[in-house]
């Protein structure tokens, strides 16, 4: 029985929620009336002018009516340096330095929605300070192959994890009156042939794997803009795709925001107009030459669009809808008089970047308790590897950054190890960061290797800091990796170092899984991602034990490339033949493939070590039988049985045995991160809405539910389950 006071509190809460809803509805109605008034005053040319770029990163306003320009900026983990009006050159500003946040693979590895909100809010503040109206991120494309050059910008292989992390990020950005622009919609899961390849896949794979994070961005986060992808989907370019934009996004999901093209992703005036593209960016001159006067007027949604409207080939209602959406975006951003002021490079943003970096680092191996390493005067540490000093905020394509500062791993290690002797040498060289070509290094590879072996022989401990970098054919926009192994003969160098010093630990800086033929020869291994401004401090603090690692892998590390689902089915599955590509792995992507097909991974999705140990016990569910409109409540005791404080991520996977349709053995449906002092126990509860267990029924072209017995798995990685429970759902 509830007390009178409890009923009063419930009534007040309900009344406040109702009042907020009514006030929001009144505000929306008022804005729509204002938009109606503006539309009635716009000429046809002015409406069209809203729909295409006027510079590399801006669109026109209507000065006679006081309607401002829209200014956009890359990117998903930091506001890009200012770009020139009409070229890709930097504008040369001296006041456009920002905080570089860790890349989104790192954010996903934290398994912390709260950190995702802080990250998004901080990033939104920096975009607002730079007077940007649209921030081009987050990226939520699914990690399908470890060769995808742009995986580091995304949130891993699982649609549920990507959804849960993207929603608070978007909300955080938009609290600042800056529109998030979720990208790349959709199926842009490789960079190789990205502007040519046509993706063919089943409806189930589309809706169950590749669209959920976009859907959550729209329906749960209320994202204000979406960026179309370069590739084709079922024969039609994604940026102006009737199925993706009109049917799914705007009709089924009721998206009321703006669809923005990726730069040069539009290919047709008629399709751009009719199939959902609202703002066209980056097309250039449509082949007319950069020196053509007013060349932005030759975009597909510029003069050619205007001419078709005048001739009646396209109804004016089409441009009215686009203009309405764009004006709505403006009222949410640059015509919102109450949006807050921004901030940049402040201590709070640096602290958020540091927190994400330290919680995202994943401890993959720790033999003989190699980590943490204690500082003392009798210790000599050899730090070998180009990535110990290389800038990782430069390069990568459109996600390049110009941070106010960037602390290298070597600088961080030197700062933390005040007593130990630190020796450093490169060991290998990769050349400068490049977007569209491979540039060789200028130093002699043999000389670098010989010096590295010499330095390793003189040390008590070797820390090899290598991996990939944000250059072409590595982790970079524009093309995919050419090999699964480490480039620049790092594998050979690691083996040679091991021959002279067995006390070897490896710090991998990358946004992708790599081949590890040397794994047995290292005692310690950390996956450190691209960590932004505070990279060195974060890495050093985890190495020394100042911070206990708690990151979990957001994607699977396969033992061999052919073990990955996209590669298992051969060339037509990845990368295609240059024209078409078939997603033959269907819904079995990442750990779904490994678990269902019983293919052992090198490191599993959700895996990550710690300097302490945890036990999961007393795993229970609130009941054993449910109706499909109910919520499953799972409880679990988590105990820190080690000697220091730390954090564990409890993960809940659900599977449907003996299903009438093909299913993965299990799928992530819930998780929670818990921090515990040594010896302490906490009971955590994870709620799972049964409606989230639906599958996409291709016969109905709708979501459907299959009743019967379901397996509930509770553990701390996809392949490390502490308990399985069985429930019946009617």
Unique residue bearing structure tokens 């499953």: 632
In angstroms, rounded to a whole number, what is the distance separating the alpha carbons of residues 332 and 246?
22
- Where residue 10 falls among pLDDT bands split at 50, 70, 90? low
Among 26-40, 278-292, 447-461, top mean pLDDT goes to: 447-461
CATH 2.30.110.10, applies to 613-729: no
Q: What is the mean pLDDT of the chain?
A: 95
* CATH hierarchy code of domain 361-555: 3.40.50.1700
Bridge partners, 636 (sequence order): 684
- Where residue 1 falls among pLDDT bands split at 50, 70, 90? very low
Note the pLDDT of residue 7: 57
- Where residue 441 falls among pLDDT bands split at 50, 70, 90? confident
Q: In what order do the strands lie in the sheet with 236-237?
A: 236-237, 232-233, 198-200, 580-582
- Where residue 487 falls among pLDDT bands split at 50, 70, 90? very high
High-pLDDT (> 90) share of the chain, %: 91
> End-to-end CA distance of the chain, in Å?
29
Q: What is the pLDDT of residues 631-652, one digit of tens each?
A: 999 999 999 999 999 999 999 9
Helix (H, G, I), strand (E, B) or coil at 62: strand
- Secondary structure of 337-372 in HEC code, one letter for each residue: CCCCCCCCCCHHHHHHHHHHHHHHCEEEEEHHHCCC
Kindly tell me if the per-residue pLDDT of 15 is higher than 90. Answer: no
Kindly tell me if the per-residue pLDDT of 75 is higher than 90. Answer: no
pTM given for the model = 0.94
Q: What's the whole-number mean pLDDT along residues 79-104?
A: 94
Q: What's the whole-number mean pLDDT along residues 425-444?
A: 90
Kindly tell me if the per-residue pLDDT of 18 is higher than 70. Answer: no
CA-angle at 269, arms to 268 and 270, nearest 5°: 95
- Where residue 286 falls among pLDDT bands split at 50, 70, 90? very low
Count other C-beta atoms under 10 Å from residue 624's C-beta: 10
In angstroms, rounded to a whole number, what is the distance separating the alpha carbons of residues 592 and 695?
15
Q: Which of 21-30, 100-109, 356-365 has the lowest mean pLDDT?
A: 21-30
In angstroms, rounded to a whole number, what is the distance separating the alpha carbons of residues 109 and 601?
18
- Secondary structure of 425-464 in HEC code, one letter for each residue: ECCCCCCCCCCCCCCCCCCCHHHHHHHHHHHHHCCCEEEE
Domain ranges of the chain: 1-39, 42-88+95-332, 361-555, 613-729
Which pair of tokens denotes residue 266?
């539009």
Kindly tell me if the per-residue pLDDT of 434 is higher than 90. Answer: no
Instruction: Tell me 519's DSSP state.
Output: G
CA atoms within 13 A on the CB side of 538: 33
CA atoms within 13 A on the CB side of 202: 15
What letters, b where the CB count within 10 A reaches 16 and e where it falls short, cover 273-289?
A: bbbbbbbbbbbbebeee
Kindly tell me if the per-residue pLDDT of 447 is higher than 90. Answer: yes
DSSP secondary structure string, 614-656? EEEEEEEES-SEE-TTSEEEEEEEEEE-SSS-EEEEEEEEEE-
Catalytic residue among 49, 74, 262, 278, which?
262
Note the pLDDT of residue 253: 98
- Where residue 8 falls among pLDDT bands split at 50, 70, 90? low
Count other C-beta atoms under 10 Å from residue 50's C-beta: 27
Kindly tell me if the per-residue pLDDT of 427 is higher than 80. Answer: yes
CA 254 to chain centre: 24
Q: What is the pLDDT of residues 533-553, one digit of tens each?
A: 999 999 999 999 999 999 999
Kindly tell me if the per-residue pLDDT of 17 is higher than 60. Answer: no
Note the pLDDT of residue 11: 66
Kindly tell me if the per-residue pLDDT of 409 is higher than 70. Answer: yes
DSSP secondary structure string, 663-690? --S-EEEEEEEEEE-TT-EEEEEEEEEG
Note the pLDDT of residue 86: 86
Kindly tell me if the per-residue pLDDT of 3 is higher than 60. Answer: no
User: CA 675 → CA 548, 649, 680, distances in Å?
Assistant: 11, 9, 10
**Residue 262 appears among annotated catalytic residues:** yes
- Where residue 146 falls among pLDDT bands split at 50, 70, 90? very high
Fold classification of 42-88+95-332 is TIM Barrel (3.20.20)
Cβ–Cβ < 8 Å for 148, 480: yes
Cβ–Cβ < 8 Å for 379, 413: no
């Amino acid at each position: 029985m509830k007390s009178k006071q409890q009923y009063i509190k419930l009534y007040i809460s309900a009344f406040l929620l109702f009042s907020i809803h009514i006030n929001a509805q009144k505000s929306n109605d008022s804005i729509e009336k204002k938009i109606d008034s503006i539309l009635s005053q716009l000429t046809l040319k002015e409406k069209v002018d809203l729909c295409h770029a006027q510079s590399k990163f801006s669109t026109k306003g209507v000065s006679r009516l006081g309607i401002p320009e829209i200014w956009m900026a890359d990117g998903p983990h930091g506001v890009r340096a200012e770009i020139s009006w009409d070229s890709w050159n930097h504008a040369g500003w001296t006041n456009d330095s920002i905080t570089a946040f860790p890349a989104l693979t790192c954010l996903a590895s934290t398994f912390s929605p709260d950190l995702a909100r802080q990250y998004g809010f901080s990033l939104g503040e920096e975009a607002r300070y730079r007077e940007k109206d649209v921030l081009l991120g987050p990226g939520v494309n699914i990690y399908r192959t470890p060769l995808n050059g742009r995986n580091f910008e995304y949130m891993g292989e699982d649609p549920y994890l990507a959804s849960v992390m993207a929603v608070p990020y978007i909300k955080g950005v938009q609290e600042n009156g800056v529109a998030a622009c979720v990208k790349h919609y959709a199926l842009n899961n490789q960079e190789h042939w990205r502007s040519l390849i046509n993706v063919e896949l089943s409806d189930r794979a589309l809706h169950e794997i590749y669209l959920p994070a976009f859907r959550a961005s729209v329906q749960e986060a209320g994202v204000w803009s979406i960026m179309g992808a370069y590739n084709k989907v079922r024969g039609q370019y994604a940026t102006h795709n009737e199925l993706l934009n009109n049917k799914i996004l705007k009709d089924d999901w009721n998206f009321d925001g703006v669809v923005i093209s990726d730069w040069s992703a539009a290919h047709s005036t008629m399709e751009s107009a009719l199939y959902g593209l609202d703002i066209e960016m980056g097309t250039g001159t449509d082949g007319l030459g950069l020196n053509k006067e007013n060349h932005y007027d030759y975009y597909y949604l510029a003069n050619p669009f205007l001419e078709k409207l005048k001739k009646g080939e396209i109804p004016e209602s089409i441009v009215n809808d686009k203009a309405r959406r764009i004006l709505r975006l403006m009222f949410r951003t640059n015509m919102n008089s109450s949006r807050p002021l921004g901030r940049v490079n402040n201590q709070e943003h640096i602290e958020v970047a540091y927190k994400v970096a330290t919680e995202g680092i994943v401890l993959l191996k720790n033999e003989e308790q190699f980590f943490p390493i204690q500082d003392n005067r009798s210790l000599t540490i050899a730090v070998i590897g180009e990535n110990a000093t290389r800038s990782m905020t430069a390069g990568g394509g459109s996600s390049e950054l110009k941070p106010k500062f960037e602390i290298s791993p070597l600088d961080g290690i030197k700062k933390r190890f005040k007593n130990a002797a630190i020796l450093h040498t490169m060991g290998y060289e990769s050349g400068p960061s490049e977007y569209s070509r491979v540039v060789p290094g200028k130093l002699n590879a043999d000389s670098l290797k010989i010096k590295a072996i010499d330095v390793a022989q003189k040390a008590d401990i070797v820390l090899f800091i290598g991996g990939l970098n944000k250059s072409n054919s590595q982790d970079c926009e524009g093309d995919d990796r050419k090999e699964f192994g480490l480039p620049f003969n790092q594998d050979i160098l690691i083996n040679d170092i091991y021959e002279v010093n067995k006390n070897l630990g490896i710090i991998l800086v990358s946004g992708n899984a790599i081949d590890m033929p040397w794994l047995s020869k290292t005692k310690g291994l950390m996956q450190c991602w691209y960590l932004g401004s505070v990279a060195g401090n974060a890495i050093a603090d985890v190495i020394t034990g100042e911070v206990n690692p708690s990151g979990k892998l957001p994607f699977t590390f396969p033992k061999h490339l052919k073990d990955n689902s996209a590669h298992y089915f051969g060339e037509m599955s990845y990368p295609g033949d240059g024209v078409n590509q078939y997603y033959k792995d269907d819904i079995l992507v990442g750990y779904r493939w490994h678990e269902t097909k019983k293919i052992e991974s090198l490191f599993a999705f959700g895996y990550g070590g710690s300097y302490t140990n945890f036990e999961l016990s007393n795993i229970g569910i609130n009941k054993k039988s449910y109706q499909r409109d109910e919520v499953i409540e799972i409880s679990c005791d988590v105990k820190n049985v080690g000697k220091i404080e730390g954090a564990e991520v409890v993960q809940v996977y659900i599977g449907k045995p003996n299903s009438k349709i093909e299913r993965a053995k299990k799928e992530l449906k819930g998780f929670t991160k818990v921090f515990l002092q040594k010896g302490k126990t906490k009971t955590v509860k994870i709620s799972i809405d049964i409606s989230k267990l639906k599958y996409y029924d291709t016969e109905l072209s709708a979501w459907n539910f299959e009743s019967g017995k379901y397996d509930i798995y509770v553990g701390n990685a996809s392949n490390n389950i502490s308990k399985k429970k069985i429930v019946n759902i009617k």
